[in-house]
Structure 1
């Protein structure tokens, strides 16, 4: 760092009234609002910003944008530290703490590199360290120690990130002359435009261009055009936003940098990821200046010409005093004139024999020294350049020019990265001396400098034309108000001369001619790769590591290709270039995650009684996405085994209660409901009586068990099917697959009602007595209410369905009420059982109780290969049904008939206190010969409070024939647990229980009146979609069913949302569900209608206000723009990590209908997004 300031006394787009203090490598420095970290470092005289990767050579700032290879920094401290940022892209903030990330190789490797640099050519580690082979591990650790930049934060990222979905008719990438003209033209055609640029200000070179209209300069035109775009509600302006990936179907990833944006003060997101789907994409990405390779070109103080101009014009920073400008084209003369205007010395070294364009003429007129037909052979200096060696092109007198700044311009590299990501290979142009994008795929357009144009006015004309064409292809053919573009000739421009490398008269200097400055790839390395047979540019790249750094070769790759072509004696077009993959620049993982962190990372489903469980000591277990109480701890000191023992004894000896709301529940309606169930279950349901329940097995086509559960026949053509908690969605999808694709002739409808029903299982000898206190309109006596019966009535004043089913083997009643009444009924049952010390129990106790009875859990005791007979459930297979059932024929396969198949048995360890680990393997002998043959494995294992000893369920080969045999379970610690094979049923079920019940009718519990309903009534309506059905339903509802997809019919009190051609969701005033169901059933009495009350299944959220659409754009990929989603539309779509139905009752309001179990998640997510 020098002790002089390089800040110019005036000019620049900085606010000198707002100084900003920051530290770099521990030194406190000062910049201004509007500075980047790079410009502030240059202004403070910081020459060395890091060291190179391989040789540890000092490195200074070279570029102005994303192409910068040297100024790699990490910003922030502690967990907020962000590594591998380009100082050229970091906007300065007050109090910023930055350090160099590129500090060169580690201690050991750094010393080696500096001492023996000449012995470390490309690929040296392949040749040097591979033998002796035993030492490779040592060298690998040293090489990995030397690799990488910066330090990864070791704590959680404290920053906030957002992800937002966007939709555009035309997406314009790049806000330079071509991009601005394209966006303006497309917007005037009526298209929705997304306009993104990675810089903090729009306009690019227009902000200082000399072209103009008749009435205003280019800068004024740029400001007016941006004001017009900003005033257009259908134009989305995104500055500081890098389009990093162009994917299939014009899906574009854009990363917006938010911190440092004056429009987002306070605790704003650090970054926002925009996922944009565009009908048409205009790539006006521009071009970056290519340096010329010469000896010593890596010294601090050697920059590109455009970078010198950028820092001088935008930040009022002169990176030196005396400039030598080395060029092969006219564009560099703008830099020379800029340098001359600030009163500094400049000498232009132009490789061309003559320099006759407008730029050189203006330079001569200004008195600037121009050396035509010369080249810079070498830059001199140690920690900063102090002079250059120049010579005539054809040889001659070598001359030294003293200077402290060298700028080179070897032409312009169009930014073809996004175009190449679509699979279009760039093509070399001898006219432009650059790789230009190939023919674009449909829906993608190129405009401006990306096509090789160097004239500002030509770029704008092409941008306007392409913007118009993109809007036309997006469907906007109306009259257009063509923009009045700045015009005028940029002046005559002489063609550039191809120059990528200046050969040095001393070949040994090739090792000081750097192509990739970050990774120390030199001309000598590329020549070596060519000599060693790496003729493919892809192979040479990997062998030399050219372009492998954080800049991905943006500055050096084209020079590298040209040097490789020279070494191979072929043209650049023959050599070709590497392809580009996303991302264009690095993307923070936090931005990809967005809000999906913390409580939003994996949304948990909650039962209606969740809050009660939480306040009564529940210790949670994740079951799928559900939060279920595993056990209830009484006091902070009660262990799980103690709590489970207490809960088990209550269930076996008194009364206990389980929240079983998470079980999957599917409402099956239709004339063919019985036939359908007979086909998907192995046992029969056609003859099941109304009001009865039946346990059934569902098999896959190969005969293995898919799921199990109890099905209730609610009415002649209506069943309620229960599934396991984790299989609910899979089973519904499985059933819909068969209903829709294999048996479309069946008149049957399926509706998920898992969220609608809150279920409380009252278990134990005292359960009948407890239930009688809150249920007075159902005869609960054993004769009137038998095992596997179903009755409808009221519990705690709430309409309820009560089932006499048991997963514990004890007397048990499952009480089902609409979810909105779940907490009331649960608390009423707890109060009714208070005299008997009613005990809530969790999943761990549930597992113990069911295992004591030998009841299986699909997915725990089965593993996807088990058939019914393996589990002792052959009695649930009914062959000979008129239609068969899924898996019927497969049960006859020889594989399923083997006598040694694993079968479910019980195990009792010989030591009654020893609990076998679940998953433990079983063998015949305590110390078998290895490899030992496995006899089976443990599937469930517990300590039984009722039996007073441990027990287990296991799958054992031929297990039912081995009752009484002792098997052994070797453990990881070397011990062996012996266990006796016993039947899988350990306790006999209690079919009925009267013992200990009080005589006479129990005193009813005093209950508060049922409060008035506040949530809207909701019903799911399914039908055959015929005119007669639609007419009848419309008359019953006094509102016509919507027939167009994704539309809503609405009046002042009711809304009907279209879900499918034969399905609708009715939303009505609170408390009207029963009346509407009655009217619909009367009106649609013909077979085929299915009406299901789902009031308890869903929650309706309303978002209103000007930001409602923006909040939803963070959560759903669906296009909610008024053009696509006007009032009267509805859609079923993704909402963050769940699903929802979104409707638009009016322009400023959205209704979001989500499953009740996800309501807390959706509400919290949208609240967070809105804030």
Structure 2
């Protein structure tokens, strides 16, 4: 299969291993070692995508992670990945890729009409359109949703799996170009543990794409020797195909390693990707630099690419990206690309140089090679549609703001442009390192590190191979020394020191028409942001660079502004007349390149998404036929159906048995936090709304916990186990959140308090027995606990022996009936449960699950945090204002004094009785006071809990109703599908309102 643009020799591809692949359904062939981008260019495919907003034809623009145009969908079905960069996708046998953001095809995309109507889509158009008429929004929304996005996410579950791994390193080196290899060698020779990560499958970086020599040999050979030395060192771990994408506090580094996406026949047990979480003593950033494009009229046509990319395709992949090229540059370094392209047989129509005096070693070498250099010229326009065909070149005025002569036409199918280099400072900035503007380089470079890191090479603003290698070795030695290792400094390699300077910094190349009038000067290729868009944002008052970024969407695509951000700052600087260093920069956030959701999830998906927690009595519940529900990762018995029973019948039976005789509940899942220390009472006094300093050993108290906003966060009982010793109970699902809340305050707000928290949830098993016969059963199983009501009153605890094992028994109740919660060591939980069940047979003991528990507590008007509360409910709303002390401070107290918290029309906790006792309201049902034949209706509240009670003989509900505390006896209505249910507002306490059974 012909690859007409493949060079006959050279490159780092394996010509003995041809690779077949498809692109947009058409078959092509490349070689092992190709990227999809290089293979497409080898086959003469330059049109690879469409731009996001205008759907303009776009071609391959770069050779790496900075690619803004060549986004592709790779793979089929559930395994497909969207928006990969063709320049980073390794070619493998059978690879299937297609373009994104085009319909019905790449070649004919009807979305290109947007380009013709571009005046209707200026920057910020989405803020100004689709506002009228209001009734048209559903139609607008469908259109916007269909037009938004680029690739397609699969609807089926991902068939692959992903790994995570934790590691430590004395020195982590990000980037394996010349500086990174040098740093890794220097650190490794000291004996330090080194991790070297690079996003490419080969180490060497720019040494693989150029013709530089190191110590008298090709740079690629030096890189190979360095790699061999590193691999022979047992203290070195090399991670190819691994991008360092996140740099966080305390030298925490995230790395994404691609393990099998490059394989044609992936083993079934091979993970797709692995996320590394590394804690490094020292970090060396050697991430290189990204070439900056030039901003000129219609600079986005297929065939226009970075000069460094053209050089890479020629030298690394043996591909001619065009037949006839124009070099457009503002610096000396770009001429290396022109010389290499000419040597590969590409005609160089001319080198168009913005500099009035085009000088430098490489510039002179180009002249000596017969390349025409047009100094003081710029490209005023380009022509072509799906491929650049010609450019118009004209001389510039002395200040570079206008054309100074007639334009000349140059025929070409390739434009290699270079506007200088931007150090890749993303990781340095993520680590909170500071930047400074280097006027000589016209870009931002690292200034001050905040963490234990140092930048080396091009990412530090150092150019010229000899200087880059020297700085890499110095950084590696300094990092090893800082990590505590003795370093013997090695001689530096000998290399050339060519740099890209001198240069002329011109942020916007003029054309024959003003910006925004005829043709487009693209700054951000992926998002179709032009210089005119930036100018418009400034006219509309968006002067902050962060505001300009968001208003225009500059730098917000998958390339994250790697090639557009500095140019955008330069254009804004020029329009505003403000020095670029005064503008500042936008924020660099992780990830550096996109990371799949699968990598974030790792193995924690499906059944492994959350750990499954089972109580010690779980096996008994399963044998008894219990249906389970998940509560805070616990498997809790939901209900225990007998033969022929559904959920309703089982819950009615369980509820009645617990009220009439004896029920038993597995309450092991309640969160428990052991609190000790001399300031424990003071601590409880601050985190709960009520007072705690008077609680004596042996006593228990109920408490409400608020957030700083005054809203109910959690509730539960806390027992005083002894002097300065407490046991706090939380809700099953809220245990972790409460512990984190308490620890945050101890560590950040009240570090002076001597309080120590220990989660002990798993240390105990708890069986709660409830009902009129609960005391009788407990008395049969203990000899050393006096269960008489006077000796063991409500809200107290006693310690002794139950069923022959140590137990702590608490006289508390969530059922609203006589109840004891028996706590034993976890390994005795099943023994306790079975003993209670056997001894309780004479009382018709009935196990009940969480659904019956809800019915019983709701009959009593007890709340459940997260059901009767939703983050907007205060103690006053719940009628619990008496629990809020007026004599002390507590978390959330100030928020309760805000005027809106005192509004008598806030939603308040009430009970509801449907007029028809057989009706059961739906939980979440909205409530109204006036029923209309057609919506809208004014909502006054909603149902929080609703059940059919065999003990009340009717349906009942709990609700939050506006001003509900003052509406007892009034009617509200619940409009339901096909009917409206009338209800009476009542007190939320339906059973034993005086609490006689509770305290029996």
What is the TM-score with the length of structure 1 in the denominator? 0.69
1:464-519 alpha-carbon deviations (Å, 9 max, x no partner): 223333334x343x542333432143469873445665544577996155444334
- Per the alignment, residue 318 of structure 1 pairs with 320
CA offset at residue 415 of structure 1?
2.3
1:334-355 alpha-carbon deviations (Å, 9 max, x no partner): 3344334445544552536777
CA offset at residue 644 of structure 1?
0.7
Q: Does 1:588 align with 2:589?
A: no
Q: Does 1:460 align with 2:469?
A: yes
Q: 2:559 aligns with which of 547, 551, 554?
A: 551
- Cα distance change, pair 538–425 in 1 and its aligned pair in 2 (3 A): farther
- Cα distance change, pair 261–80 in 1 and its aligned pair in 2 (3 A): closer
- What is the rounded CA distance, in whole Å, between the counterparts of 2:762 and 2:832 in structure 1? 16
- What is the rounded CA distance, in whole Å, between the counterparts of 1:954 and 1:116 in structure 2? 54
CA offset at residue 177 of structure 1?
1.3
Q: 1:290 aligns with which of 289, 292, 296?
A: 292
- Cα distance change, pair 108–641 in 1 and its aligned pair in 2 (3 A): same
Aligned to 2:416, what secondary structure does the other structure show?
strand
- What is the rounded CA distance, in whole Å, between the counterparts of 1:719 and 1:575 in structure 2? 56
Q: Is the 8 A contact 1:212 1:486 kept in 2?
A: no
- What is the rounded CA distance, in whole Å, between the counterparts of 1:743 and 1:513 in structure 2? 57
- Per the alignment, residue 948 of structure 1 pairs with 953
CA offset at residue 284 of structure 1?
2.4
Aligned to 1:98, what secondary structure does the other structure show?
strand
- Per the alignment, residue 299 of structure 1 pairs with 301
RMSD: 5.6
- What is the rounded CA distance, in whole Å, between the counterparts of 1:124 and 1:187 in structure 2? 52
- What is the rounded CA distance, in whole Å, between the counterparts of 2:699 and 2:417 in structure 1? 84
Q: 1:818 aligns with which of 815, 822, 825?
A: 825
- Cα distance change, pair 427–383 in 1 and its aligned pair in 2 (3 A): same
- Per the alignment, residue 400 of structure 2 pairs with none
Aligned to 1:972, what secondary structure does the other structure show?
strand
- Cα distance change, pair 646–229 in 1 and its aligned pair in 2 (3 A): same
- What is the rounded CA distance, in whole Å, between the counterparts of 2:7 and 2:453 in structure 1? 43
- What is the rounded CA distance, in whole Å, between the counterparts of 2:575 and 2:196 in structure 1? 43
- What is the rounded CA distance, in whole Å, between the counterparts of 1:705 and 1:571 in structure 2? 52
- Cα distance change, pair 4–671 in 1 and its aligned pair in 2 (3 A): closer
Q: Is the 8 A contact 2:964 2:985 kept in 1?
A: no
1:515-568 alpha-carbon deviations (Å, 9 max, x no partner): 443344456666777788877766666666554443344334444555555666
Q: Is the 8 A contact 1:868 1:877 kept in 2?
A: no
CA offset at residue 63 of structure 1?
0.9
- Per the alignment, residue 487 of structure 1 pairs with 494
CA offset at residue 845 of structure 1?
1.8
Query: How many residues of Structure 1 are paired with residues of Structure 2 in the alignment?
Result: 969
- What is the rounded CA distance, in whole Å, between the counterparts of 1:6 and 1:922 in structure 2? 72
Matches within 5 A, 1:118-157: 119=119, 122-123=122-123, 125=125, 146-157=147-158
Q: Is the 8 A contact 1:194 1:237 kept in 2?
A: yes
Q: 2:458 aligns with which of 444, 449, 474?
A: 449
Aligned to 1:256, what secondary structure does the other structure show?
strand
Aligned to 2:562, what secondary structure does the other structure show?
coil
- Per the alignment, residue 184 of structure 1 pairs with 185
Q: Is the 8 A contact 2:914 2:982 kept in 1?
A: no
Aligned to 1:641, what secondary structure does the other structure show?
helix
5+ residue gaps, structure 2, are 398-403
- What is the rounded CA distance, in whole Å, between the counterparts of 1:898 and 1:403 in structure 2? 74
- What is the rounded CA distance, in whole Å, between the counterparts of 1:68 and 1:7 in structure 2? 22
Matches within 5 A, 1:1132-1151: none
Q: 2:425 aligns with which of 397, 416, 420?
A: 416
- Per the alignment, residue 62 of structure 2 pairs with 63
- What is the rounded CA distance, in whole Å, between the counterparts of 1:787 and 1:469 in structure 2? 70
CA offset at residue 755 of structure 1?
2.0
- Per the alignment, residue 982 of structure 2 pairs with 976
Matches within 5 A, 1:219-234: 219-234=220-235
Q: Does 1:847 align with 2:862?
A: no
- Structure 1 window deviating more from structure 2 (355-364 vs 609-618): it is 355-364
Aligned to 2:62, what secondary structure does the other structure show?
coil
Q: Does 1:517 align with 2:525?
A: yes
CA offset at residue 841 of structure 1?
0.8
- What is the rounded CA distance, in whole Å, between the counterparts of 2:529 and 2:695 in structure 1? 78
- What is the rounded CA distance, in whole Å, between the counterparts of 1:544 and 1:903 in structure 2? 45
- Cα distance change, pair 961–545 in 1 and its aligned pair in 2 (3 A): closer
- Structure 1 window deviating more from structure 2 (458-467 vs 553-562): it is 553-562
Aligned to 1:89, what secondary structure does the other structure show?
coil
- What is the rounded CA distance, in whole Å, between the counterparts of 1:741 and 1:350 in structure 2? 61
- Structure 1 window deviating more from structure 2 (730-739 vs 277-286): it is 730-739
- Structure 1 window deviating more from structure 2 (493-502 vs 737-746): it is 737-746
- Structure 1 window deviating more from structure 2 (267-276 vs 457-466): it is 267-276
Aligned to 2:519, what secondary structure does the other structure show?
helix
- What is the rounded CA distance, in whole Å, between the counterparts of 2:460 and 2:922 in structure 1? 68
Q: Is the 8 A contact 2:480 2:486 kept in 1?
A: no
1:943-977 alpha-carbon deviations (Å, 9 max, x no partner): 33244334567899999999xx8443332344422
Q: Does 1:160 align with 2:161?
A: yes
- Per the alignment, residue 407 of structure 1 pairs with 416
- What is the rounded CA distance, in whole Å, between the counterparts of 2:406 and 2:169 in structure 1? 60
Matches within 5 A, 1:344-383: 344-349=346-351, 351=353, 358-359=361-362, 368-371=370-373, 373=375, 378-383=381-386
Q: Is the 8 A contact 2:909 2:988 kept in 1?
A: no
- What is the rounded CA distance, in whole Å, between the counterparts of 1:519 and 1:460 in structure 2? 36
- Cα distance change, pair 375–104 in 1 and its aligned pair in 2 (3 A): farther
Aligned to 2:415, what secondary structure does the other structure show?
strand
Q: Does 1:80 align with 2:97?
A: no
CA offset at residue 706 of structure 1?
9.4
CA offset at residue 88 of structure 1?
0.7
- What is the rounded CA distance, in whole Å, between the counterparts of 1:170 and 1:51 in structure 2? 42
1:364-393 alpha-carbon deviations (Å, 9 max, x no partner): 67x554445366555444432345555677
1:278-332 alpha-carbon deviations (Å, 9 max, x no partner): 4544332222223444555433223222212212222232223344444444433
Q: 2:761 aligns with which of 745, 754, 764?
A: 754
- What is the rounded CA distance, in whole Å, between the counterparts of 2:135 and 2:876 in structure 1? 55
Q: 1:696 aligns with which of 666, 683, 701?
A: 701
- Cα distance change, pair 810–249 in 1 and its aligned pair in 2 (3 A): closer
Matches within 5 A, 1:681-720: 696-698=701-703
- What is the rounded CA distance, in whole Å, between the counterparts of 1:50 and 1:739 in structure 2? 55
- Cα distance change, pair 920–279 in 1 and its aligned pair in 2 (3 A): same
CA offset at residue 842 of structure 1?
0.7
Matches within 5 A, 1:790-805: 790=798, 792-793=800-801, 795=803, 798-800=805-807
Q: Is the 8 A contact 1:349 1:370 kept in 2?
A: yes
- Per the alignment, residue 651 of structure 2 pairs with 644
